[in-house]
């Protein structure tokens, strides 16, 4: 068997492709992993080649195949009907494995045959035959044909992370290329700015709140998405509403913070809310004063 194989990666696009040459899969929000099965014994590697068999031992122990096979897939935890990276991280920190699943979406090697030169569709067919012989927590990642945008819109409505589109005739390549394309769904909301971290001419980060009834609670920070000029403009605006103390209902410790009256709203794109109630993968899109837009 080969050793660890550098994984194929997808290129980020704004729109999903359509046409008979593409298949589309739900994008999982988990840990990309590669499973090496050698006659009943499985080892699990991260996308960077680190051996995490011990951390995913329950999944490794479920590969009862007597073959020599290399699977490509994702370890996930499903929370509230969808895969949730924050819940997976929390389970890993606790050493908990009972909620972990492995979704197999590709096969690279089987019983002496290197399958990377085969077409995507051929590999998926071979993969399904093997996964059908196994039981949960090992699952087959279903694909869909037709218009990728339709699947993406459905995925967005369900708050999934997005989709991955793959050319049906393409071989497996250990690189980031046009044969795999990903389109990510994002959430967007306006949050009151409750503080900021200064940098020499602008802001390094904004602290954000969320109004819940009569309470204003901390929901995290955003530190990307602005130019140097925009950073200076944000600083000038926030300097007009500096407060001697924070306005959060439950104060937090942020030694570098300059607190402000929550008069400005930051328009923020984000991927998810973590199990700790904080924004994940946030990006700044704009600043407005006054009432938040609906």
132 pLDDT more than 90: yes
Q: Residue 293: what pLDDT?
A: 44
Given a cut of 70, whether residue 291 has pLDDT beyond it is: no
Residue 89 pLDDT > 90: no
The dihedrals phi and psi of 127, each to the nearest 5 degrees, come to -60, -45
| pLDDT tier for residue 159 given thresholds of 50, 70 and 90 | confident
Helix (H) / strand (E) containing 210: strand 203-212
Active site residue 27: yes
According to DSSP, the residues that pair with 215 across neighbouring strands are 212
User: For position 273, what pLDDT does the model report?
Assistant: 84
pLDDT of 183 > 70? The answer is yes
Please tell me the pTM assigned to this model.
0.73
d(CA 118, CA 122): 6
Q: Which of 6, 13, 15, 27 is catalytic?
A: 27
Residue 294 has pLDDT above 50, yes or no: no
Bigger pLDDT: 47 vs 158: 47
Integer angstrom CA distances of residue 158 from 11, 82, 98, 152, 197 = 23, 8, 24, 10, 35
d(CA 207, CA 266): 10
- Of 142, 122, 120, 132, which is closest to residue 65 (Cα–Cα)? 132
How does pLDDT run across 254-278, given as a tens digit for each residue?
999 999 999 999 999 887 788 788 9
C-alpha 59/C-alpha 53 separation (Å) is 9
For the chain, which domains are there? Answer: 9-184 (3.30.470.30), 187-289 (2.40.50.140)
For 79, other C-beta atoms within 10 Å of its C-beta total 17
β-strands 176-184, 187-198 pairing: unpaired
Chain mean position to CA 204? 24
Whole-number mean pLDDT of the chain? 93
Alpha helices in the chain (DSSP H): 57-60, 85-94, 120-131, 148-157, 228-238
- Partnered with residue 272 across adjacent β-strands are 280
């Amino acid at each position: 068997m080969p050793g660890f194989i550098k994984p194929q990666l997808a290129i980020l696009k704004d729109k999903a492709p359509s046409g008979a040459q593409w298949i589309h899969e739900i994008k999982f929000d988990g840990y990309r992993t590669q499973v090496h099965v050698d006659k009943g014994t499985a080892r699990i590697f991260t996308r960077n080649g680190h051996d995490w068999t011990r951390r995913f031992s329950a999944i490794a122990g479920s590969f009862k195949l007597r073959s020599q096979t290399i699977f490509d897939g994702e370890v996930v935890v499903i929370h509230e009907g969808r895969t949730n990276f924050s819940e997976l991280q929390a389970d890993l920190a606790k050493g908990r494995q009972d909620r972990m699943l492995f979704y197999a979406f590709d096969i690279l090697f089987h019983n002496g045959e290197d399958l990377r030169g085969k077409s995507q569709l051929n590999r998926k067919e071979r993969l399904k035959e093997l996964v059908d012989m196994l039981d949960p927590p090992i699952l087959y990642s279903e694909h869909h044909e037709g218009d990728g945008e339709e699947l993406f819109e459905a995925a967005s409505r369900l708050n999934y992370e997005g989709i991955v589109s793959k050319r049906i005739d393409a071989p497996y390549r250990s690189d980031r290329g046009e044969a795999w394309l990903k389109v990510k769904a994002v959430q967007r909301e306006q949050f009151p700015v409750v503080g900021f971290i200064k940098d020499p001419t602008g802001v390094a980060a904004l602290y954000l709140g969320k109004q819940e009834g009569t309470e204003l609670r901390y929901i995290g920070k955003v530190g990307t998405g602005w130019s140097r000029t925009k950073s200076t403009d944000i600083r000038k605006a926030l300097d007009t509403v500096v407060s001697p103390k924070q306005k959060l209902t439950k104060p937090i410790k942020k030694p570098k913070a300059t607190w402000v009256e929550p008069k400005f709203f930051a328009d923020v794109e984000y991927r998810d809310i973590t199990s700790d109630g904080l924004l994940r993968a946030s990006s700044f899109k704009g600043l407005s004063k006054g009432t938040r837009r609906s």
